[in-house]
Structure 1
Amino acid sequence: MKFLKRHKQLFSVASIVFVLILIFTKPVYAMHIMEGMLPPYWCIVWFIVSAPFFIYGLYRLYKIVNSEQKNAKIMLALCGAFVFVLSSLKLPSVTGSCSHPTGVGLGTVMFGPGVMSVIGVIVLLFQALLLAHGGLTTLGANEFSMTIVGPIVGFLIYKICRKLKINRSMSIFLCAMLADWSTYITTAFQLAIVFPDPHNGVAAALIKFLGIFAVTQIPLAIAEGLLTVIVYNLVISNDLWKEAALQ
């Protein structure tokens, strides 16, 4: 009971996010690349490309789990739940598709980008099997865009911002927002090379796919950045984690 009272703000945020997933999760075409959308060749390619990052992520996960950092395992679970919940909020976009947050910014700031590839695979597997969100054959492609490219870009942005003496909250906001945007740019590219425009090729298809999701994804990424800042600051202010630990 003492723990619940002490961290009631954190649990309040978690409750709000849980309610949101119940409200907004619905059977629409998700931005995760769906089962059957990629030819077998490209499914294999993205699995091969993602494999080294996943192996490194296992190494980072092992180091974190066996570290003496306070609350490391709890924070790993929190970051995994954050990714699962936010990336399950499928908000309708245009042309029968949808957009959603990625949630990778929180774990990227707390643990660095490496471990997010492992957390991402777990999340994507659960979503594919339980929510029909994404797919098993497209797991490598979805992992690469959301939990490899996104966290790497976000982490680089965060480190650059801190080097430039930009305050913590703004650095985290930019990390989460740009990690989200980079995920959707990567996904658009993955689709464009498989479904090029009949007349103008991959470049025209890329513009088309980016345009489809830009209307909802730009404001959605901004909202994700703000939520990530709120949750991170709650974690730090309640002495659940130390800034820059285990990155």
Structure 2
Amino acid sequence: MKRKKWMSTLLLVLGFVLYFSVNEPESAYAMHIMEGFLPMGWAIFWWVAFIPFFVLGLRALRKITKETPELKIMLGLAGAFTFVLSALKIPSVTGSSSHPTGTGLGAVMFGPLPMSVLGSIVLLFQAVLLAHGGLTTLGANAFSMALAGPVVGYYVYRWMMNASGKQKLAIFTAAALADLSTYVVTSLQLALAFPAEQGGIAASFLKFGGIFAITQIPLAISEGLLTVLIWNWLQSYSTNELALLQRQMKGVKES
């Protein structure tokens, strides 16, 4: 019975990955803000805004690996999940593209600060190896995907767990909103850098947000479902690690 459950979960996960892969366009502009697109002043601003959280994230990771080295493999899983999902591009009706972010799982497991480091490393590798995003815009991309998304996902998860205690629903909602909030922040970043002549920042925000909205909502729902499937798999085959995670997160809340 356990083997059947594992196989069904694996098939569902592979189905989601196949869906994302088949829909990947051969040529498209990724959601990550591309190299040189932001004015230098804004590129520096987002670097400065992100770096303090990156430093705090390094401290959080050091604490996790020192106190519970058994969780290193779970950190690797969170980073790999983020890399795979955020590397897949889905065509948008506007001619641009959207993609999942994959940061909700790590945010639920470790909180937002460790994900600021894991997410920024993922974005660095994608910029260098896949030409997704860029180095000058890495601060802006990391702020939206590696910080804002995990912060929203983590606090939504905690709130829903306190309010209802329904973990699967909380994980689904956290992952979906972590995805959507990344696009909201990216739209705001672009609107601040390029306000519209008519309507200013607000009009520009609606324009950039509309570029991704139609494709991103079903993507966020799909990412939420996939994250729940991964969590189910972890509950079946990594119970000791999840128990360690829960004790650690409880200690974070109390402190």
CA displacement at 1:48 relative to structure 2: 0.4
Paired position in structure 2 for 1:42: 42
User: 3-state SS of the aligned residue for 1:153?
Assistant: helix
The 8 Å contact of residues 31 and 100 in structure 1, kept in 2 or not, is answered as: yes
Task: Return the alpha-carbon distance in structure 2 between the equivalents of residues 17 and 95 of structure 1.
Answer: 23
2:213 pairs with 1:241: no
User: Which ranges in structure 1 are unaligned for 5 or more consecutive residues?
Assistant: none
The 8 Å contact of residues 76 and 107 in structure 1, kept in 2 or not, is answered as: yes
The 8 Å contact of residues 9 and 234 in structure 1, kept in 2 or not, is answered as: no
Paired position in structure 2 for 1:77: 76
Task: Return the alpha-carbon distance in structure 2 between the equivalents of residues 75 and 8 of structure 1.
Answer: 21
Task: Return the alpha-carbon distance in structure 1 between the equivalents of residues 53 and 78 of structure 2.
Answer: 18
Paired position in structure 2 for 1:129: 128
Residues 171-228 of structure 1: CA deviation (Å, up to 9, x unaligned): 0011011111111110000000111111110000001111111100111101111110
Paired position in structure 1 for 2:57: 57
The 8 Å contact of residues 21 and 88 in structure 1, kept in 2 or not, is answered as: no
Task: Return the alpha-carbon distance in structure 2 between the equivalents of residues 9 and 130 of structure 1.
Answer: 33
More helix by share: 2
- Identity, in percent, stands at 52
Residues 64-121 of structure 1: CA deviation (Å, up to 9, x unaligned): 1122364x11111111110011111100003321011110110011111110010011
CA displacement at 1:6 relative to structure 2: 11
User: 3-state SS of the aligned residue for 1:196?
Assistant: coil
Please show how residues 1-40 of structure 1 align to structure 2 within 5 Å: 19=18, 22-25=21-24, 26-40=26-40
2:150 pairs with 1:151: yes
Task: Return the alpha-carbon distance in structure 1 between the equivalents of residues 116 and 7 of structure 2.
Answer: 30
CA displacement at 1:142 relative to structure 2: 0.4
User: 3-state SS of the aligned residue for 2:113?
Assistant: coil
User: Which ranges in structure 2 are unaligned for 5 or more consecutive residues?
Assistant: 250-255
The 8 Å contact of residues 16 and 226 in structure 2, kept in 1 or not, is answered as: no
| Corresponding residue pairs, total | 243
The 8 Å contact of residues 85 and 100 in structure 2, kept in 1 or not, is answered as: yes
The 8 Å contact of residues 193 and 202 in structure 1, kept in 2 or not, is answered as: yes
Q: Give the AA of the match of 1:82.
A: F
Residues 141-178 of structure 1: CA deviation (Å, up to 9, x unaligned): 00000110111111111111011124000000110111
Task: Return the alpha-carbon distance in structure 2 between the equivalents of residues 38 and 145 of structure 1.
Answer: 14
Q: Give the AA of the match of 2:39.
A: P
CA displacement at 1:63 relative to structure 2: 1.2
Paired position in structure 2 for 1:193: 192
Tell me which moved more, 210-219 or 60-69: 60-69
User: 3-state SS of the aligned residue for 2:134?
Assistant: coil
The 8 Å contact of residues 57 and 118 in structure 1, kept in 2 or not, is answered as: yes
2:101 pairs with 1:99: no
Q: Give the AA of the match of 2:224.
A: G
Task: Return the alpha-carbon distance in structure 1 between the equivalents of residues 81 and 30 of structure 2.
Answer: 18
Paired position in structure 1 for 2:222: 223
The 8 Å contact of residues 20 and 89 in structure 1, kept in 2 or not, is answered as: no
Q: Residue 214 and residue 22 in structure 1: after superposition, are their counterparts in 2 closer, same or farther (change >3 A)? A: closer
Q: Provide the aligned C-alpha RMSD in A.
A: 2.2
